Structure 1
Amino acid sequence: MFHALTRNPQSPAAQELQRLGADIAHGDFEDPTSLRTALHGVRSVFAVTTPFGTDTDAETRHGIALIDAARDVEHIVFTSASNADRGTGIPHFDSKQRIEEHLVTAGPRWTVLGPAAFIDDKFGDWTLNGLREGTFHLPLPSDRELHLVAVRDIADVAALALEQPDRFAGRRLDLAGETLTPAAMAEALTAAIGHPIRHHCPPLDVVARYSADLAAMFGYFTEVGTDIDLPRLHAELPEITWHRYADFVRGLAWPELLQAQPA
Structure 2
Amino acid sequence: MRALVTGATGAPGMAIARALLARGHRVRAFSPRPGDPAAARLIELGVEVNHGSADDPRAIARAAAGVDAVFAMGSPIEGGLAAAEAEVRRGLAAAEAARAAGGAHLVYTSVASADRCTGIPYFEGKAAVERQITALGVPCTILAPVYLMENLLAPAALHGLRRGVYAAPLPPGCPLQQIAADDVGRFAALVLERRCDFLGRRIELASDELTGADAVSALSRVAGREIRYAEVPLAEVRARSEELAAMFRWLARGGYGVDLGALHAAYPEVGWRRFEGWAREHLSGALTRAVA
Fold shared by both chains (TM-score > 0.5): yes
Q: What residue number does 1:29 align with?
A: 54
Q: What residue number does 1:57 align with?
A: 85
* Aligned amino acid, residue 38 of structure 2: A
The reply to whether residue 189 of structure 1 matches residue 192 of structure 2 is no
Distance 1:26 1:51 in 2: 19
Number of matched pairs:
261
User: Structure 1 residues 258 and 9, CA, compared in 2 at 3 Å: closer, same or farther?
Assistant: same
The reply to whether residue 95 of structure 1 matches residue 125 of structure 2 is yes
Distance 1:134 1:259 in 2: 7
Contact 1:131–1:258 (CA<8 Å) still a contact in 2? Answer: no
Residue among 205, 222, 246 paired with 1:175: 205
Question: Which TM-score applies when normalising by structure 1?
Answer: 0.91
Gaps of 5+ in 2: 1-25
CA drift at 1:20: 2.4
Q: What residue number does 1:40 align with?
A: 65
User: Structure 1 residues 140 and 21, CA, compared in 2 at 3 Å: closer, same or farther?
Assistant: same
CA drift at 1:66: 1.6
Residue deviations 1:120-170 (CA, integer Å, cap 9, x gap) = 222323323333443211111111111111000001001110111101111
CA drift at 1:7: 2.3
3-state SS in 1 of match to 2:150: coil
User: Structure 1 residues 158 and 210, CA, compared in 2 at 3 Å: closer, same or farther?
Assistant: same
Q: What residue number does 2:13 align with?
A: none
Matches within 5 A, 1:1-263: 1-51=26-76, 55-71=83-99, 72-251=102-281, 252-254=283-285, 258=289, 260=291
Question: Which TM-score applies when normalising by structure 2?
Answer: 0.82
User: Structure 1 residues 217 and 33, CA, compared in 2 at 3 Å: closer, same or farther?
Assistant: same
Distance 2:287 2:152 in 1: 16
Distance 2:63 2:123 in 1: 27
CA drift at 1:256: 7.7
3-state SS in 1 of match to 2:268: coil
* Aligned amino acid, residue 31 of structure 2: T
Distance 1:152 1:56 in 2: 25
Fraction of identical pairs, as percent: 37
Contact 1:192–1:250 (CA<8 Å) still a contact in 2? Answer: yes
